[in-house]
């Protein structure tokens, strides 16, 4: 059976200008310095995703773990047709994201940490607008939206409140409802529970599992939350510097930590002994060379 999502040799780079530096003291003192045109900073090529290959089976929940700036969100945007790969191919249910962009967009939906809304419109109005983009019948869409939000414990009395007057957690629940409204074949979740309280986070996770079970939806999830990844994902890829450095089941990654410690002496850094399995967090730090304090500063869980 063909994979739901297939990426082969995918790379994406951006050109960024380096930070401007203060002029040297000599230039500031120079009598004719005001005549000298400022140097135009040369843009530096930054490779966000480099030669990444993987496939996701139908109905699988596939996780991508990585620090901020590791390339995980860029990879999701490439799959979502929001960016075009510089090289390699991406197919969603056999359709190329470049050649068949419109067909791919009809099969997917996306939830991101920076969910965009018409902030002055209500939750109900935002969902009705999204339903119209997918040619959903208005009455059916309203009923489905209410059902989804009810399962996410979204207060019915807030349905007609403008988004700008809702909490971050309530806004994210509306974003999840908007994505699931269309019953997508593939759901792209880019840090969907970041900033949510523990109860709201659990409700979103439960609903993702329910959607997978009832609709056979394929899910690609990026997250900072190790517990979330271990609870939801069938397999997890660890991305660092735009490259996959590991790909396995949650248990397989943790078992890999034991082997790594035994074979390379790195197990001491994992803080495990004998046959005790390290936590997914410990394995992540070992694979990426990330210090705990750095991870917390970057917003990890």
Q: Which helix (H) or strand (E) holds 128?
A: helix 123-133
Query: What pLDDT is stored for residue 164 in this prediction?
Result: 85
Instruction: Give the tens place of pLDDT for each residue, 223-253.
Output: 988 999 999 999 999 999 999 999 999 999 9
Mean pLDDT of residues grouped by 10 in the chain (301 residues)?
A: 90 77 53 56 83 96 93 95 96 96 92 76 86 82 85 86 85 85 89 84 88 90 92 96 95 78 44 69 86 43 39
218-223, strands of its sheet edge to edge: 108-112, 186-190, 218-223, 61-65, 235-240, 243-248
| Domains of the chain, residue spans | 5-18+42-248, 249-301
Of 300, 271, 73, nearest to 254 by C-alpha is 271
Residue 137, Cβ neighbours under 10 Å: how many?
10
Instruction: Give the tens place of pLDDT for each residue, 79-129.
Output: 999 999 999 999 999 999 999 999 999 899 988 876 677 878 888 888 888
Q: How far apart are CA 11 and CA 184, in angstroms?
A: 26
Does domain 5-18+42-248 fall under CATH 3.40.50.300? My reply is yes
Which pTM value belongs to this model?
A: 0.80
């Amino acid at each position: 059976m063909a994979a739901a999502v297939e990426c082969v040799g995918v790379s994406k780079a951006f050109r960024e200008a380096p930070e401007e530096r203060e002029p040297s003291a000599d230039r500031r003192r120079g009598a004719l310095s005001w005549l000298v045109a400022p140097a135009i900073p040369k843009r530096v090529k930054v490779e966000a995703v480099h030669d990444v290959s993987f496939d996701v089976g139908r109905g699988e929940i596939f996780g991508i773990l990585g620090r901020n700036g590791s390339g995980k969100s860029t990879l999701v945007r490439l799959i979502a047709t929001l960016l075009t790969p510089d090289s390699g191919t991406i197919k969603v249910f056999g359709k190329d994201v470049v050649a068949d962009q419109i067909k791919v967009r009809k099969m997917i939906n996306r939830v991101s940490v920076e969910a965009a809304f018409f902030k002055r419109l209500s939750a109900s109005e935002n969902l009705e607008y999204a339903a119209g983009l997918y040619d959903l019948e208005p009455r059916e869409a309203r009923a489905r939206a209410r059902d989804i939000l009810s399962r996410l414990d979204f207060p019915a009395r807030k349905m007609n409140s403008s988004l700008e007057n809702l909490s971050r957690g309530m806004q994210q629940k509306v974003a999840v409802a908007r994505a699931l409204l269309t019953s997508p074949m593939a759901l792209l979740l880019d840090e969907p529970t970041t900033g949510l309280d523990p109860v709201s986070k659990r409700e979103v996770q439960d609903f993702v599992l329910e959607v997978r079970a009832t609709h056979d939806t394929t899910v690609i999830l990026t997250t900072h939350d190790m517990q979330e990844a271990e609870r939801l994902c069938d397999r997890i890829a660890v991305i660092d510097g735009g490259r996959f450095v590991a790909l396995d089941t949650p248990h397989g990654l943790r078992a890999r930590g034991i082997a790594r410690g035994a074979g390379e002496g790195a197990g001491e850094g994992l803080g495990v002994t004998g046959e005790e399995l390290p936590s997914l967090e410990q394995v992540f730090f070992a694979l990426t060379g990330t210090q705990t304090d750095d991870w917390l500063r970057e917003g990890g869980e």
